[in-house]
Each structure stands twice: as structure tokens, then as C-alpha cells.
Chains A and B, each alone.
Chain A
Amino acid sequence: MTSFNVIRWIVWKDFVTELRSRETISSMVFFALIVILIFSFSFSMDQQAAREVIAGIMWVAFAFTGIIGLGKSFSTELQNDCLEALQMVPEAKGAIYLGKVAANFAFMFVVEILLFPMFVILFNLEVVEEISLLLLIFFLATVGLSAIGTLFSALTVQIRAREVMLPILLLPLVVPVMIAAVEATKGALNGDPLAMYEQWLKLLAVYDVVFTVVSFWMFEFVMDS
């Protein structure tokens, strides 16, 4: 089995499990809807105010739902000692990491795509022209979140209080992703010229590359048993 096959099989396994149970994506979507609802109650926004804060609300909702998905990613492996089985894979541990990142990315991205129309409808946004740019921002930020989130999901799965520790460890580290995603989304929604928020896209790209590489390397030590 080559490393590429390991990646493929892990992604396939996660998809099949998800299709059978429909646990992760449905819980993520409903949680995000509740977050949106609570935000709109607590701010009681008119259209003008909504434009100012919508990007922030969007990314808070995405990050929290992402954490739910990431937490489930490795905790499901605890059943039937699947984690030990993964540790015994003879290929490089990095392949497992890449497979898990791909699966987590796919789940988070699907949830974001499902939720985005909700935001458009509930807050009366006009996004016809910027839709491809917004997709690029979602893509870059989600890669960053899942790259570092998968590592910490694997790291926290074997410790006490893992549901609490994952966000506590993860959120300070993804501060740059959150800032960049919020600022870029705000720029795109306001219809600003690309040059005004280009730097945030570059920051996201740099973050993605750096943390995919570092996490890929560190994952070896997480799985080391």
C-alpha cells in the first residue's frame, strides 16, 4: 500500500462512515444555524449594522462548527481501538494526517457551502459578483483551520477533558486565520477592490503552507506510541 493509497482509503472510510451515520455534518449544520439565530437575537441588527458584523458572525459560526467536526474526527477512532490500528499502518504517519485533513476539509467546506445561502437570505446580502472570490477565501481559510485542527484533534483525543482542550488549544493558534478570513470576507461583501484585501488572501495562503508542513511533520510525534 503506497502512501497515496493510505490517504485515499482514509478519506473514503470517513466519507462512508459519514454517509451511513450522517452524524458529523448534520450536527455541524444545526449547531451553526443555532449560532446564527443567537447572534441575530443578541445584536438585533438592521441591514446597515448587519453588513458591518456579518463577516465576523459568519466566521465565528464556521470556526465553532469546524471544531465540532474536528473533535469528532479522531474521537470516532477511539471505538473498537481504531486509533491503535491507525498507528500500526506501516506507511508514513503523514499519510494518515493528509487523509484526515482532506476529510475534515471536505466536511467543513460542505457545511460552509450549505450555510452560506442561509446568511445570504437571512441578512439580505448581494453577492452575485463576488461569489468566486468568497469561495477562494472559504477555501484558503478552511484549509488553514483543518490543517492545524486535525493535528490538535489527534493530540487531544487521548487526554482528559478533550472536548474543552481542543478549542482552548486551537483558537489562540488560529487567530491569524480568523482575522484574515473576517477582513477578506468583509472586503468581498462590501465590494471593495481586490487590492484592498489582497494581503489577507496572501496571509491565508502562507499560513496554509506553513502549517500544513509543520503539522505534517509534528503528526509523526503525535502518533508515536
Chain B
Amino acid sequence: MTIHRVIRKVQRFQGWFGGGAALCLGAGLYLGLIGSPPDYYQGEVVRIMYIHVPLAHTSLLGYTVLALGSLWYLWKRDPIVDNMCQAVAALSAVFTALALGTGMIWGKPTWDTWWTWDARLTSFTVLLLILIGYIMLRTFVDDHEKEARYGAILAIIGFVDLPIIHFSVEWWRTLHQPQSISMRGVSISSGLLAPLLCMSIGMSLLFSYMVMVRTQLLYLDRLLHAKKGRLLSQFHLSKSDS
């Protein structure tokens, strides 16, 4: 019954995460949209950074949590950890996709192009592909235990691969397009730091909150399935007896 205890503990702190996320995001939005001055070079467009960068940070954080949770699962085979991994993967995929989308919207006015094979954009695309592969893999396995195990293996391999992918793409970029358009140009001045920090903390809290809700959802879903299945088999058994 440790699973139930974990669930109950999660539920107790869930509200704090949600409330904290709402507060931080509210403050961050106010600071980012109204309270901070426009950037000297980029003008007002720099405000997109306050939503884009936290989304990207959070998706990376999510992938780290996914890899750690997968290791934990392979070690202890704790089903609730697997539920958490599944929730984190889906949410990481959403955050990564949104980070890519906002990045494209940022790229249009600053570089006058929706898409460029920039090192970070490319490695984030590969990250998104790996996460979608993870979700697909899990839907294609029939057995719950095997599904969790295979997912964990893929997540760990991908986590080890991620830095190598980033390095190789970065080298490849510098080879083909020396220092044309790069995000390095954005130096973070103190005026930009406060809203960025607020939004980053808020996004991380929101991510944790959403992970909790989704973990709970997956757990309840499986519980309902299992219990319904048991009731059904009991029903059939009683019928065959009589």
C-alpha cells in the first residue's frame, strides 16, 4: 500500500505547486509584458524570450526527470514511478513542441525566417522526435510491465545520446554557416533577468503540478481498468459456476 501513501502525499502538496505556479507565472507575465523595458537591439520582440526560454528549460528539466525516473524504475520496478515517467514524457513532449513553436515565432521578426538549422533548434527537434518515439513505443506494447521497461530503456539511451547530438549538431553548424544567426547575441541584462527568473520558476512549478495531475490520472485510469476487469471476471466466473 505504499503506492497509496505516495499518492496521498502528492495530493497534499499538489495545491501548493499549482498556486505557486499561478503566482509566479502571473508575476512573470506582469514583469515581462508591462514591467520591463524593451531591448535596445531587438525592441519589443525580446518579450517572446520570457515565454520561450522557460518552456525550453522546463522541457530539458522534464527530460532529466524522465531519465532519472527510468533508472529508478529499472532498479526498483515501482509502478508509480513508471506512471510518473509516462506523465513526464507526455508533458515534456508538449513543452518541447511549444518551445519550438515560440522559437519559430521569435525567429520570424528577429532573423526574418521561421526556421533555421540552428544548433539548438535542431537538437530540440531531435529531442521532440525521441519523446514522440517514446510515447509511440509505449502505445505499441501490450504488456504493462514490458511497456514500462522498454520505455525506460529508450529514455536512458536518449538521455545519454542528447549531449552527443547537441555537440555533433553544433560542430556541423559551425562548419556550414559560420556565426551567421545565433542566439548567443542575446546578452541577459539585469532588467531582463527578473521576469525571466519569475517565468522559469513558474514554468517549472506548473510542469511539476501538471505531472502530478497526470500521474494521478494515469494511476486512477489503471486502477479503474484493473478493478473493472476483476469485477468482470468475477461476474463471468459466477455465471459459469451456476
Contacts and interface: CB of A to CB of B under 8 A. Distances in A.
Contacts of A136: none
Interface string B155-172: 011101100110111011
A218 B146 contact: no
Contacts of B171: 179, 199-200, 203
A170 B164 CA distance: 15
Contacts of A180: 168
Interface string B172-198: 100100000000000000000000000
B158 A173 contact: yes
Contacts of B149: 221-222, 224
Contacts of B46: none
Contacts of A207: 164
B152 A176 contact: no
A169 to B, nearest CB: 5
A182 to B, nearest CB: 9
Contacts of A206: 164
B157 A159 contact: no
B231 interface: no
Interface string A151-169: 1000110111100010011
A155 B133 contact: no
B172 A203 contact: no
A222 B156 CA distance: 13
A172 B140 contact: no
A155 B169 contact: no
Interface in B110-163: 126, 129-130, 133, 136-137, 140-142, 146, 149-150, 152-154, 156-158, 160-161
A173 to B, nearest CB: 5
Given A168-B133, A172-B129, A179-B168, A222 B150 contact: yes
Interface in A133-164: 148, 151, 155-156, 158-161
Contact of A214 (B126, B160, B175): B160
A175 interface: yes
A169 B141 contact: no
24 contacts: A155-B150, A155-B154, A159-B137, A165-B133, A168-B133, A168-B136, A169-B154, A175-B126, A175-B168, A179-B171, A179-B172, A200-B171, A206-B164, A207-B164, A210-B160, A211-B160, A214-B156, A214-B157, A218-B153, A218-B156, A221-B74, A221-B152, A221-B153, A222-B149
Interface string A92-122: 0000000000000000000000000000000
Interface in A180-225: 180, 183, 199-200, 203, 206-207, 210-211, 214-215, 218, 221-222, 224
Q: Range of interface residues on chain A?
A: 20 to 34
Contacts of A159: 137, 140-141, 150
Given A160-B140, A210-B164, A218-B156, 15 more contacts: A148-B157, A160-B141, A165-B140, A169-B133, A169-B154, A172-B130, A172-B158, A173-B130, A175-B168, A175-B169, A176-B161, A176-B164, A214-B160, A221-B74, A222-B150
B156 A183 contact: no
Contact of A165 (B130, B136, B165, B175): B136
A160 to B, nearest CB: 5
A218 B172 contact: no
Contacts of A168: 133, 136
Interface in A24-52: none
Give 5 nearest A-B pairs by CB, closest first. Answer: A176-B168, A172-B129, A160-B140, A159-B140, A169-B133
A218 B157 contact: yes
